[in-house]
Structure formats: structure tokens, C-alpha cells
């Protein structure tokens, strides 16, 4: 049997334990786009993120598996959508899948996943709103038919080239001062005062992964590139930049 391209050969062992479950679950509602997207995210988490640390079976999964999936991986792969419903859709799909899985293989994960989902939804919705707002500002025609980002990317690059200093890293929001977001960089604990972010949505302890730059003649930094927006509870699973 030839595995599809989405399953790397080095993960053959993992595929053997969860692959059939994924296929059977998908085939029950093969035209359900939400189910298909959910399985794509979960599969990506298990093969590309956990890699060789992926549990050998569903019964060997532990609480951190579901915690990292919800609080760190979901916001990392979150897509920009007009309705901003990806958080709600994913968590709903996850709970449906866990109910199905518990019955199929005899696990008892629903109570744990339901608890994490309830804890996470409000914080993840903030992450989703911040992410969408930043991208909508950087790419105003993002959701229009035929959108091409090249022009906006070129404008951003030209602005970034004027910076005399830059930092690409993970930051934690410390506070909001008027229209300024106060960020602390993970590795150095250096504080940066950043303009241009949606301060009406951003809250303290939010984690932001991206690039900032400072131009000559100003003390304020600007936010230039967004890699991810995370809730505080996802921090322990984030890999810090060197």
C-alpha cells in the first residue's frame, strides 16, 4: 500500500495507529469541509510538530497532547477568514471527534478536551481577532477576489528597510499605553514600545510571534510581520528563538 504524500515515510508507525481512524472518520462524512480541515490540522500536529514524540496509540496520549494542540498548535496554524469562526469550528469538530474516538477505541478523553476547550475559547477568539485585524490592515483587499499580496508586501519591505534595528522573536504583551503596545522579548526580557497594533483588541499576557523594527529618530518600534498570536497557556509549548 502506498501512503499519500501528506504522510512522511518516517512517520509510518504513527500512521498505522491513527491513519485508519482518520480515514474511517472522514469517510463517514466525506463531503464535510469542516471535518476535513480539522483532520488536516490534527494530522499536521501529530506528524510535523510532535514527529518522533507522537504517542504510539490514542490510549498512550496524555493531557499535554490535547493542551498543546488546543493552546499552541491551533493558533499557530490559524487561517485568516472573513467570518473569524475557525476557533469555534475547530473546537466543535474536536469534541465531536473525541466523542467518536472514545466510543471507537475505549478512551476517556472527552471530559479533558471539553474542559480545555471551555478554558481556551475566549482567549483563542482574542488571538483570532488580533491576527485577522493585523492582516486586514496590512492587506486591505485580502478577502477580495483576485487578491494578490505582492504590492503590499513590497510596500512593507520598503518600510522595513528604513529600520536601523530589528528583532524577530517571541514577545509577551505587558500593557497598553494609549495606542502603544508594551512588549517584552522572551529571551532577553528587553521591553519594546510598539506602535501600529490593534490596541483595542490586544490584552496583557498575549503572546505575539513576529518581527519588529525601529527607524532612525524615533524611540517607538513598529510591528512588521506576524508569525502567530497565542494565549498565555500556550507559552510552555512555544520554542524560543535563539
What CATH number does residue 196 fall under?
A: 2.40.50.140
Our count of domains for the chain comes to 2
How far is the C-alpha of 42 from the C-alpha of 200, rounded, in Å? 32
pLDDT tens across 38-51, in order? 999 999 999 888 88
- pLDDT tens per residue across all 242 residues of the chain: 333 444 343 444 455 567 789 999 999 998 999 999 999 999 999 988 888 788 888 999 999 999 999 999 999 999 888 889 999 999 999 999 999 999 999 999 999 999 999 999 999 999 999 999 998 887 766 655 766 667 667 777 777 888 999 999 999 999 999 999 999 999 899 999 999 999 999 999 999 999 999 999 999 999 998 999 999 999 999 976 44
For residue 166, what are the domain limits?
150-237
DSSP per residue over 97-114, as a string?
Answer: HHHHHHHHH----HHHHH
Q: Which residue, of 138, 167, 199, is where some domain finishes? A: 138
Amino acid at each position: 500500500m502506498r501512503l499519500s504524500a501528506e504522510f512522511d515515510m518516517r512517520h509510518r508507525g504513527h500512521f498505522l495507529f491513527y491513519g485508519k481512524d482518520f480515514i474511517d472518520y472522514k469517510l463517514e462524512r466525506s463531503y464535510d469541509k469542516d471535518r476535513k480541515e480539522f483532520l488536516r490540522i490534527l494530522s499536521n500536529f501529530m506528524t510535523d510538530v510532535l514527529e518522533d514524540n507522537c504517542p504510539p496509540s490514542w490510549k498512550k496520549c496524555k493531557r499535554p497532547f490535547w493542551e498543546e494542540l488546543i493552546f499552541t498548535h491551533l493558533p499557530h496554524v490559524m487561517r485568516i477568514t472573513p467570518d473569524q469562526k475557525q476557533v469555534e469550528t475547530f473546537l466543535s469538530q474536536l469534541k465531536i471527534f473525541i466523542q467518536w474516538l472514545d466510543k471507537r477505541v475505549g478512551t476517556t478523553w472527552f471530559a479533558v478536551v471539553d474542559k480545555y476547550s471551555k478554558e481556551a475559547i475566549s482567549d483563542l477568539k482574542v488571538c483570532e481577532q488580533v491576527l485577522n485585524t493585523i492582516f486586514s490592515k496590512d492587506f486591505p483587499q485580502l478577502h477580495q477576489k483576485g487578491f494578490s499580496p505582492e504590492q503590499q508586501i513590497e510596500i512593507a519591505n520598503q518600510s522595513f528597510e528604513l529600520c536601523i534595528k530589528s528583532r524577530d522573536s517571541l514577545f509577551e504583551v505587558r500593557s497598553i499605553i494609549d495606542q502603544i503596545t508594551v512588549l517584552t522579548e522572551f529571551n532577553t526580557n528587553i521591553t519594546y514600545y510598539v506602535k501600529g497594533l490593534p490596541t483595542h483588541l490586544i490584552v496583557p499576557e498575549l503572546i505575539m510571534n513576529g518581527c519588529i523594527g525601529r527607524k532612525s529618530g524615533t524611540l517607538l518600534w513598529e510591528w512588521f510581520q506576524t508569525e502567530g498570536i497565542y494565549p498565555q497557556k500556550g507559552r510552555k509549548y512555544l520554542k524560543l528563538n535563539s
